A = this chain, B = another copy of it.
Amino acid sequence: MPKLGMEPIRREALVQATIAEIGDAGSLDVTVSRIARRAGVSAALAHHYFGGKEQIFLAAMRHILAQYGAGVRLALAGARTPRARLDAVIAAGFSPENFDEATIGAWLNFYVQARVVPEAGRLLRVYQRRLRSNLVHDLRPLVGDAAPDVAETLAALIDGIYIRAALGEGLPDGAAATARVARVLDRLLETGE
């Protein structure tokens, strides 16, 4: 039965199962066994591929961050003006594939993981740095030296909306979330904050 080239397929399945399982559980209290069963493989295989539970979680984080990154890149490709690019970056975070139940739940838990596992912290910081750098880059032409500060505000607002979505309160849909952030951006741009 073991086929050639199964590894990438299995890894992908395990990563997806991990995210789904975390989403279902609402926490990182998920067992490797459950993840493996959901992916249709044995727990031993999960270990074989990833080396350990922590690595499985990290792979899931990487997957989510990569997916987010790809979304941003895609959105940026079609944007011409700084403002259009800003809107693109903001919208990307709330696009359907990043803003669904399971992903949001996983995201919240990765914040926790980032406080515990150094490598997880590194991953999350890379994402944040990239987000901020994207924002700053396009804010600079609009607000000048206030860019870093405005960027931080926007980033915090985005994270806050995410976190509130994780609680089931607040907006369940990405369009409204995007609109909210965009509106704040409007105000901050009006006077150059």
Contacts and interface: CB of A to CB of B under 8 A. Distances in A.
Given A108-B111, A111-B108, A153 B157 contact: yes
Chain A contact residues: helix, strand, loop or mixed: helix
Contacts of A109: 112
A12 to B, nearest CB: 25
B115 A27 contact: yes
Contact of A112 (B26, B157, B161): B26
B25 A116 contact: yes
Looking at A105, A115, A125, A156, the one whose CB has the most chain B CB atoms below 10 A away is A156
Question: How many copies of this chain does the complex contain?
Answer: 4
B111 A115 contact: no
B25 A167 contact: no
Nearest to A25: B116
A3 interface: no
B116 A26 contact: yes
B155 A157 contact: no
A91 to B, nearest CB: 16
A59 B112 CA distance: 20
Interface magnitude class on chain A: 35 or more
Nearest to A180: B153
A116 to B, nearest CB: 5
Interface string A169-180: 110000000001
Given A27-B116, A161-B160, A180-B152, A111 B187 contact: no
Contacts of A115: 26-27, 105, 108, 166-168
Contact of A155 (B164, B188, B191, B193): B164
Interface of A: 25-29, 105, 108-109, 111-116, 121, 124-125, 128, 149, 152-153, 155-164, 166-170, 180, 183-184, 187-188, 190-191, 193
Given A27-B113, A128-B169, A190-B191, 16 more contacts: A28-B112, A108-B112, A108-B115, A109-B112, A111-B167, A115-B167, A153-B180, A153-B183, A156-B170, A157-B157, A160-B162, A184-B184, A184-B187, A184-B188, A187-B187, A187-B191
